């Protein structure tokens, strides 16, 4: 049976491929060497390995799994999600133009703004979940890159990827999609027209809150992609072998984790939507969500594990609810097996985030226990 024809669940469970013939181990080994030997004639003992910055077997194995999951030609791993984003944006020339979705992860927005200011790159920020607004922003003039995030963090807006591709094509730009909050199992941006998909592998792909990482997956190998690969090898923004091994280990359970998290999240969202002390729930898996129909099309396996909700009251009320939670850890991040809660206004009050918004990442615990915890914190 051809490994490439297998379902994602099988690809993930078998992540790393064949048995290690040298040891007989059923998991891939870690090779920590920073350099590789040559023979008496100065030929490489392994022609694929010259120096560890661009060459490591377990890194390539993890990249192969991720490329296959996304249906892409190639994948490149980076030491963080932001490093992956930076590598892509560095292909935009000085004086270029980019179109960027507004209301996305603040760390991304902040870095893009600062980078564009340094490089005299024109940046248009637009609510990309409004397809007409995105098309209008692209119609202003040529651009090099259109960057969207779907579902967005922390607003949980969903972007029509096919429409975004049409808008990007109209101004000659590549379309890049941050699909971190979806995972490769719940959304396939490349199938809807995206040129590049990005994940912070720190989040659900690893799933255990113990590895920093990021990945870019390309639909086709293009000159821009080759530029990114060359820059990564030269500049050294690479993932280490131990981190790649941990990532590969985490991916072996990605399918079962995502299934459980998405199932839990929908139950939690329905509970919150019906709670008298909650003003609104932002989760595309709810029929009340403005982008519910689009989410059903682009994320047929579930709407993910991330959501935000607005507590009735004021900032103090929201902080009190977060403070009373016992199972939801008060911490920044998302996608781990453990559930997390964040008062986002504390992190980015200057961006207009409501003081009463709590963002939660739903883990793999019992949904009933998570609901009970939310219930006692909100007040039954």
* Alpha carbon distances (Å) from 159 to 201, 275, 299, 306: 21, 28, 11, 16
Q: Which long-range contacts (CB under 8 A, 24 or more apart) does 322-330 make?
A: 322/358, 322/377, 324/376, 324/377, 325/373, 325/374, 325/377, 326/373, 326/376, 326/377, 327/365, 327/369, 327/370, 327/373, 328/360, 328/370, 328/373, 328/374
Phi and psi for 269 in degrees, rounded to 5?
-65, -40
**Which residues does 293 contact at the CB level (< 8 Å), separation at least 6?**
none
Are the C-beta atoms of residues 101 and 127 closer than 8 Å to each other? Answer: yes
Catalytic residue among 36, 53, 231, 277: 53
Question: Is 178 a residue of the active site?
Answer: yes
Catalytic residue among 178, 195, 219, 373: 178
Catalytic residue among 97, 105, 165, 232: 105
Using omega within 30 degrees of 0 as the cis cutoff, is the peptide bond preceding 151 cis?
yes
Among the listed residues 215, 240, 182, the one whose alpha carbon sits nearest the alpha carbon of residue 59: 240
Structure tokens at 298: 């682009």
Catalytic residue among 203, 219, 232, 344: 203
Structure tokens at 367: 């949904």
DSSP lists the bridge partners of residue 215 as: 77, 199
Question: Is 53 a residue of the active site?
Answer: yes
**Which residues does 149 contact at the CB level (< 8 Å), separation at least 6?**
101, 104, 105, 108, 159, 177, 178, 180, 181
Residues labelled catalytic: 53, 105, 178, 203
């Amino acid at each position: 049976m051809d490994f490439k024809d297998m379902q994602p669940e099988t690809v993930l469970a078998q992540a790393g491929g064949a048995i290690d013939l040298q040891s007989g181990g059923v998991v891939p080994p870690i090779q920590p060497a920073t350099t590789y030997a040559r023979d008496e004639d100065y030929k490489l003992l392994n022609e694929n390995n010259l120096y560890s910055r661009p060459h490591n077997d377990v890194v390539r194995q993890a990249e192969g799994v991720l490329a296959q999951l996304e249906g892409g030609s190639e994948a490149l791993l980076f030491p963080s999600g932001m490093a992956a984003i930076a590598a892509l944006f560095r292909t935009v020339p000085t004086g270029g133009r980019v179109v960027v979705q507004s209301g996305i992860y603040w760390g991304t927005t902040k870095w893009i703004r600062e980078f564009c200011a340094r490089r005299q790159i024109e940046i248009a920020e637009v609510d990309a979940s409004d397809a007409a607004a995105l098309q209008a922003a692209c119609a202003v003039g040529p651009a090099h890159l259109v960057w969207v995030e779907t579902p967005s963090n922390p607003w949980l807006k969903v972007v029509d990827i096919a429409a975004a591709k049409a808008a990007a094509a109209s101004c000659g730009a590549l379309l890049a999609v941050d699909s971190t909050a979806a995972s490769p199992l719940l959304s396939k941006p490349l199938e809807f027209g995206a040129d590049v998909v990005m994940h912070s592998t720190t989040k659900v792909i690893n799933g255990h809150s113990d590895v920093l990482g990021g990945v870019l997956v390309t639909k086709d190998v293009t000159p821009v992609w080759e530029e990114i690969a060359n820059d990564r090898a030269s500049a050294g923004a690479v993932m280490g072998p131990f981190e790649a091994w941990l990532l590969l280990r985490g991916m072996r359970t990605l399918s079962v984790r995502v299934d459980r998290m998405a199932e839990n999240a929908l139950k939690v969202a329905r509970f919150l939507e019906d709670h008298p002390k909650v003003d609104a729930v932002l989760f595309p898996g709810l029929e009340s969500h403005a982008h519910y129909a689009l989410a059903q099309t682009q994320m047929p396996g579930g709407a993910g594990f991330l959501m935000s909700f607005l507590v009735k009251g004021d900032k103090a009320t929201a902080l009190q609810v977060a403070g009373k939670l016992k199972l939801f850890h008060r911490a920044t991040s998302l996608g781990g097996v453990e559930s997390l809660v964040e008062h986002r206004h504390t992190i980015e009050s200057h961006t207009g985030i409501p003081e009463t918004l709590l963002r939660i990442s739903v883990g793999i615990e019992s949904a009933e226990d998570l609901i009970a915890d939310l219930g006692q914190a909100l007040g039954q």
